[in-house]
Amino acid sequence: MTDQTGLSGLVDRAAMVTPPVVARRARGLSERAIAWLFITPTMLLLLAINIFPLIWTIRLSFTNYRANRPNATVLDVGLANYQSILTDPDVWAAMTVTARFVFWSILIQTVLGFTLAWLIDKKFRGHGLWTTLILLPMMLSPAVVGNFWTFLYQPQIGLFNYVISAATGAPASSFQMLAQVPLAPWAIVIVDTWMWTPYVMLICLAGLRSIPDYIYEAAEVDRASPWRQFWSITLPMALPFIMLAVLFRGIENFKMFDMVNLLTGGGPGSTTEVASITLKREAFEKWRTGYSSAFAIILFVTVFGLANIYVKALNRVKNR
Amino acid sequence: MTGLATAHSVVDPSPLVKRIAAGVVIAYALITLVPLLWIVMTGFKSPSDAIAYPPKLVGEPTLEGYCNLFTTRTRQTPEYMAKLPPATDVCDRVSRGRNMVVAGPSNYIPRYVNSLVIAFGSTALSVVLGTLAAYAFSRFKVPLKDDLMFFILSTRMMPPIAVAIPIYLMYRELGLSDTRLGMILLYTSVNISLAVWLLKGFMDEIPREYEDAAMVDGYTRLQAFFKVVLPQATTGIVATAIFCLIFAWNEYAFAVLLTSGTAQTAPPFIPIIIGEGGQDWPAVAAGTTLFLIPIVVFTVLLRKHLLRGITFGAVRK
């Protein structure tokens, strides 16, 4: 990590002279003052741009406020917004679409990402270079990704349709990935998988590299088959890392907005209308600010709650 | 390693296994890179080559896409065109071939500059604030330290759309909507969680003895921080800065909801480049390519720290 040689002399001297505690109190600002001085700006910024808006959202969620009519009288409507959201079939439909999307994209990314990590861990020649290349998609802007996949998915001119039709023999213009009901959700899953499999792969790779060699050596001595080694050593020991990847991807996928907005905008019909898209429509197109604030709070509580339950499960696996 | 023959096969798989693994991984990498390469190539195609079917692997290379990205053009009558002096640059020539003259610069460069200003501004702020906070969390007894750290992390769980509403209202009151300063502050508040968590990890690895030694030599705590700890933390600070840069550079949701003109960044702008016959794909591809260059460079620079960065330092390689 850091280069320590240049300072080793200093350290040696320090060890010889005084106990550090004495020195620490000696001069300048007190530690407590420095701690507060250093932490306060960050906290102020977070209070101003995260906590204050959050409290404001909670406040608005109990009103019928509309941001495009700042002068209209604002009524306190109590829990009415929450009630109408939880009984709205469209909201439940959006939640179902979101859940299905989270499930399939994470399942595919995890299987694919883990397999790739497991293969890269064989340390073939040039694996570093190929790993770096595979990591590129996840570093890109979702806006750019959504945009150029729109191009690839064009039924008349797109590369994607051309490749699939060349492989299957179906005419390329017979399927429209972004505009046909059974295909559109999969079009988004494909892009999400393309972009985020590297993420899962990288975390799984760290998990595989954390398994000490001596465990495999012991298994070899015991004549355990490679199959047995995989199921009894590799997978269980990498599991906490796989679960961590699923956690991070789950939170992100639940919030997913960018790519859906660019690829399908929620359509066709409402087959790809995930929760964030509904929220955006309510907040910035219909301008039902109070209603959408309540929806935002429900979403946040859901993500936060699910994440917390999941972290508990993760810790149990880790400590097993 | 031990001298066991079996152990060797574990640490180093057989050549056949390696070859199969390499084959599958390289195949995946190539498939994954196709969309990227396709977009880079599209940037150098003419509009008709870009939408040719079956897709053309390489057309007649042209800079038309880049010209359409950087300029706006107007169509003119043949009589008007005939009277013009000879074309002076590439874009002039390309446009005249299509009976058009260059009317002026497009909005791409101002949007790109906005991206640069906002990304670097928020990165600088995130890193400065993050470094100070991370140092305090790493070295001092802070009351409720774990709770504060968790609080900082949890700000990342909010869906951007959820906070966008009150931020929109707040910015409207403060006159910050559609300003660079507003976006810098917003991106800083999003990035600060990453900056604090990552930098704390890096600072924890710097032995405390360095500062203690410096203070024995007569430095104050602050001097020790600036003259001893900061230089040691340079690698971590640079890595953190690049992560913040990439995030702010790539961000789309806030940008599209909260900016409309003067402060708009490149990501919401690129999808709305429209040419005469609908989407001008070569220009879009050119804009995308230019936008991707910094990311590719940073990815290569960052590869050692990638894992830490994407997991907030929760996993170290």
ipTM of the complex: 0.87
Residue A72, domain member (yes or no): no
Q: How far apart are CA B151 and CA B148, in angstroms?
A: 5
Q: How far apart are CA B201 and CA A267, in angstroms?
A: 43
Contacts of B4 in chain A (CB under 8 A): 217, 220-221
A304 and B157 within 8 Å at the Cβ level: the answer is: yes
**C-alpha A67, offset from chain centre:** 30
Of the residues B156, B221, B244, the best mutation for testing chain A's interface (the one with the most A CB atoms within 10 Å of its CB) is: B221
B 121-150 residues with CB below 8 A of A? 129-130, 132-133, 135-137, 140-142, 148
Closest CA to B306 of B295, B293, B317: B317
The pLDDT tens digits for B243-274 are 999 999 999 989 988 888 889 999 999 888 88
Domain match, A15 and A136 both: no
Q: B80 falls in which pLDDT band (50, 70, 90)?
A: confident
DSSP string for B254-267: HHHHH-SSTT--HH
Looking at residue B8, its pLDDT comes to 44
Domain match, A14 and A154 both: no
Contacts of A52 in chain B (CB under 8 A): 166, 170
Shortest distance between the Cα of B247 and any Cα of chain A, in A, equals 8
Domain match, A165 and A293 both: yes
Contacts of B298 in chain A (CB under 8 A): 139
Pairing of strands B274-275, B100-105: unpaired
Q: Which two tokens stand for residue B249?
A: 């550079």
Give yes or no for B40 touching A (CB within 8 A). Answer: no
Give yes or no for A72 touching B (CB within 8 A). Answer: no
This model's pTM is above 0.95: no
Q: B286 falls in which pLDDT band (50, 70, 90)?
A: very high
Closest CA to A291 of A281, A305, A302: A281
Looking at residue B314, its pLDDT comes to 78
Contacts of A258 in chain B (CB under 8 A): 252-253
A67 and B169 within 8 Å at the Cβ level: the answer is: yes
Q: Which two tokens stand for residue A180?
A: 């046909």
Shortest distance between the Cα of A209 and any Cα of chain B, in A, equals 8
> Within 10 A of B56 (CB to CB), how many other CB atoms are there?
16
Give yes or no for A4 touching B (CB within 8 A). Answer: yes
Given phi > 0 = left and psi -120 to 50 = alpha, else beta, which region is A266?
left
Closest CA to B52 of A291, A162, A267, A50: A162
| Contact status, residue B287 vs residue B71, Cβ threshold 8 Å | no
Domain match, A10 and A142 both: no
Shortest distance between the Cα of A266 and any Cα of chain B, in A, equals 15
Q: For residue A160, give its domain range.
A: 83-318
- The class level of CATH for B109-268+280-311 reads mainly alpha
Q: Which two tokens stand for residue B92?
A: 């002039």
Q: How far apart are CA B291 and CA B123, in angstroms?
A: 18
Residue A73, domain member (yes or no): no
Residue A78, domain member (yes or no): no
Residue linked to tokens 């180093």: B12
Domain match, A55 and A104 both: no
Q: How far apart are CA A268 and CA B79, in angstroms?
A: 47
Kindly report each contact of residues A25-33 with a partner whose C-beta sits within 8 Å and lies 24 or more positions away, as own/partner: A26/B215, A27/B215, A27/B218, A27/B220, A27/B221, A28/B220, A28/B221, A28/B222, A28/B223, A29/B220, A29/B221, A29/B222, A31/B140, A31/B141, A31/B221, A32/B140
Q: How far apart are CA B158 and CA B281, in angstroms?
A: 34
In the chain, the amino acid numbered A89 is: P
Taking every pair of C-alpha atoms in chain A, what is the biggest distance, in angstroms?
82
Q: How far apart are CA B274 and CA B253, in angstroms?
A: 21
Give yes or no for A206 touching B (CB within 8 A). Answer: yes
B 214-233 residues with CB below 8 A of A? 214-218, 220-223, 225, 228, 232-233
Shortest distance between the Cα of B70 and any Cα of chain A, in A, equals 18
Q: Which two tokens stand for residue A102?
A: 């989270």
Domain match, A117 and A238 both: yes
Which segments within chain B are labelled E, that is strand? 71-75, 100-105, 274-275, 278-279
B53 and A254 within 8 Å at the Cβ level: the answer is: no
Give yes or no for A230 touching B (CB within 8 A). Answer: no
Residue A71, domain member (yes or no): no
Domain match, A14 and A120 both: no
- Enumerate residue ranges in chain A where pLDDT < 50: 1-8, 10-11, 14-15, 20, 22-26
Burial of B93 (0-12, 13-18, 19+ CB in 10 A): middle
> Within 10 A of B175 (CB to CB), how many other CB atoms are there?
10
Looking at residue B60, its pLDDT comes to 84
Q: Report the run of H or E that residue B117 belongs to, with start and end.
A: helix B108-139
Residue linked to tokens 């000696």: A26
Task: Flag whether pLDDT at B10 surpasses 70.
Answer: no
Looking at residue A4, its pLDDT comes to 38
Domain match, A164 and A270 both: yes
Domain match, A21 and A148 both: no
Domain match, A88 and A162 both: yes
Domain match, A153 and A274 both: yes
Give yes or no for B304 touching A (CB within 8 A). Answer: no
B166 and A56 within 8 Å at the Cβ level: the answer is: yes
Residues of chain B with CATH 1.10.3720.10: 109-268+280-311
Domain match, A31 and A159 both: no
A 255-284 residues with CB below 8 A of B? 255, 257-258, 261-262, 275-276, 279-280, 283-284
Contacts of A150 in chain B (CB under 8 A): 271
Residue A268, domain member (yes or no): yes
Residue A93, domain member (yes or no): yes
Contacts of B133 in chain A (CB under 8 A): 38-39, 41-42
Domain count within chain A: 2
Cα separations (Å) of B214 from A30, B203, B209?
Answer: 16, 16, 8
Q: How far apart are CA A57 and CA A141, in angstroms?
A: 28
Q: How far apart are CA A1 and CA B313, in angstroms?
A: 14
Closest CA to B249 of A276, A260, A139: A139
Looking at residue B119, its pLDDT comes to 96
Shortest distance between the Cα of A104 and any Cα of chain B, in A, equals 19
In the chain, the amino acid numbered B42 is: T
Give yes or no for B50 touching A (CB within 8 A). Answer: yes
